[in-house]
Chains A and B, each alone.
Chain A
Amino acid sequence: QTVVTQEPSLTVSPGGAVTLTCASSTGAVTSGFYPSWFQQKPGQAPRALVYSTSNKHSWTPARFSGSLLGGKAALTLSGVQPEDEAEYYCLLYYGGYWVFGGGTKLTVL
């Protein structure tokens, strides 16, 4: 069974920076996994932020950026805003199926 692992929780101060990571139980994450990232706030549907590792959607704020870091997919938030407090999920493609990470609860404090 394929498992995608994210940090369960992270805390960041307003205006600060934080990096969320996404690891695969099968080994290093590469661009071939087409990593994507999603933000979900309580009671709302998920919202896509990044696709294919580092590409942003037209609505994605500039402070969000995606990359590969140390064999993992990564989402970096720079200049964090209070409204960035949310659950963040990564998604990896395994060639015929996809697996979401367990999510990272980001607290802005």
Chain B
Amino acid sequence: EVQLVESGGGLVQPGGSLRLSCAASGFTLSTYEMNWVRQAPGKGLEWVSYISSSGNTMYYADSVNGRFTISRDNAKNSLYLQMNSLRAEDTAVYYCARGRALGPDYWGQGTLVTVSS
């Protein structure tokens, strides 16, 4: 059974940093592209970042480019999102999602990040 479990969310002050993790199981992580998608409270979905199966190619939404870094450790079956210079508008539930044919198929349950003083 494919499972994606996010962790690392919490309350952080504006300007602070946080590192999200996504533990993958039930499939071989190294053969799949991965994404981070977020959803602000009461709002729609926003694509955040993509990483290729090898980790050689990364893409970012303009809203996070230069502040967030996606990475993966296939040996540890884990995906990461390093978030720096956090702003109030980064407050959201962050989902990791497995990629298939340039669209996510399996999604985790999400981890809440709250940026507030």
List residues of B whose CB falls within 8 A of some A CB: 35, 37, 44-47, 50, 59-62, 95, 97, 100-110
Contacts and interface: CB of A to CB of B under 8 A. Distances in A.
A66 to B, nearest CB: 11
B61 A93 contact: no
Interface of A: 34-36, 38, 40, 45-48, 51-52, 55, 57, 87, 89, 91, 93, 96-103
Contact of A34 (B35, B60, B97, B101): B101
A99 B47 contact: yes
B101 A102 contact: no
A17 B97 CA distance: 30
B59 A97 contact: yes
A38 to B, nearest CB: 7
A51 B46 contact: no
Nearest to A40: B45
Nearest to A87: B44
Interface of B is mostly: strand
Given A34-B102, A91-B103, A98 B47 contact: yes
Given A51-B100, A52-B101, A52-B102, A45 B45 contact: no
B105 A45 contact: no
A93 B59 CA distance: 12
Contact of A51 (B37, B50, B101): B101
Nearest to B95: A45
B47 A100 contact: yes
Contacts of B102: 34, 36, 51-52, 93, 98
